[in-house]
Amino acid sequence: MFIKCSKIGLTAALIAGVTLVAGPAQAATAPVSNPRILVHLNLSTGQEPQNIALEPDGSADVTFDSIGQVARVTRSGQIQVITHIPIPEHGDIPIFHDKIFTGGLVIAPDGFRYVAVSTGLANSTGIYRFRPGQPATRIAALPAGSFLNGLGIDKPSGQLYVADSVQSTIWRVPVRGGAASAWAKGPALAPHDFLGANGLQVHNGSVWVSNTDAQTLIRIPITRNGDAGAPRTIASKLGAIDDFAFTGWDNTVLAALHDENRVILIRPNGKASTVLTAADGLSNPTSVAVRGSTVYVTNAANPTTKNPNVLLAQLRR
């Protein structure tokens, strides 16, 4: 859920208003069709979306990375800030040296939201929990040198998994809070020259993670005792893969390729094909979500600085 480029300095501000625009389909490829922009965002107020989680009514919660906000985007394109992580005065995140990075986001069955936050400081980096409209509370501390990115939840076991893009690690945290543990480490998660483990999802008894530098999608089984099994590369040579989503119960994936302005479909056999491009409204996509036959894509517009948005499309099943 982060981008392979230099960050753009943005001023933190609350959201004052939005513009709703729907555009015609341009170049979408089956099984994806009918792309349209649900809402245009505003980089000058810090609306640079990184991650997305879907509410039961089809609204989307998104993180705005450098201003510590989580916002709800309704089905009609209205935006409401639902929590704000305090930005530390002396924050200094790894690599990008901003004061804060608000990354992965998940919604638990009980309505709590969990968000991964990096500040470069030991007293504020970690996993936060909140309900909409209430302050977020840190439930688990993680190392100050972490760059916390994709976040997933294993609902049956009540465990959260978070990708650390610079420490070559997937951390595990109980949803009730407490000490974090290094669940998986190793070269499959390592950065080559920038960002390693990035997007993360828990699906079909495994933790799935993208490695941006390696251009790979990796599957790590969760063993019967909860340990990490041997990682397996499912797809490679993908491009600068960011976050991703599963299209259903099988292992078919839709993934955002940030640098290439593409969303790709990855089949269970590892074969990939492009289904959305810049012609459809993509502008440095960072994450994907799927609910039924609807696809959601967040577009951070960094470094293009043009047309940050949340895009919708249809998925044929």
Structural domains in the chain (count): 1
Q: How far apart (Å, rounded) are the C-alpha atoms in residues 49 and 71?
A: 9
Q: What is the pLDDT of residue 26?
A: 56
Q: Please report, for the domain that includes residue 167, its CATH number.
A: 2.120.10.30
Q: What is the pLDDT of residue 308?
A: 97
Give me the pLDDT at residue 27, please: 77
Assigned domain for 26 exists:
no
**CB of 72 closer than 8 Å to CB of 52:** no
Pairing of strands 69-73, 309-315: unpaired
d(CA 113, CA 172): 16
Do the domain assignments include residue 316?
no
Residue 37: other Cβ atoms inside 10 A: 23
Helix (H) or strand (E) holding 296: strand 294-299
The closest of 206, 161, 220, 170 to 190, measured between CA atoms, is 170
Q: Reduced to 3 states, what is the DSSP secondary structure of residue 272?
A: strand
In a domain, 213, yes or no: yes
Q: Is residue 31 part of a domain?
A: no
For residue 12, what are its two tokens? 């933190």
Model-level pTM?
0.92
Tokens of residue 309, six digits: 């948005």
pLDDT value of position 317:
80
C-beta neighbour count of 141 within 10 angstroms = 18
Q: Is residue 174 situated within a structural domain?
A: yes
Does any domain span residue 40? no
Regions of the chain with pLDDT less than 70: 1-26
pLDDT at res. 46:
95
Q: Are 44 and 11 in contact (CB under 8 A)?
A: yes
Domain of residue 227 covers 48-293
Please report, for the chain, how many H helices and E strands are present, in that order: 0, 24
Closest of 287, 237, 291 to residue 263, by C-alpha = 287
Q: What separation, in Å, do the N-terminal and C-terminal C-alpha atoms of the chain show?
A: 26
Domain annotation covers residue 5: no
Coil/strand/helix, residue 117: strand
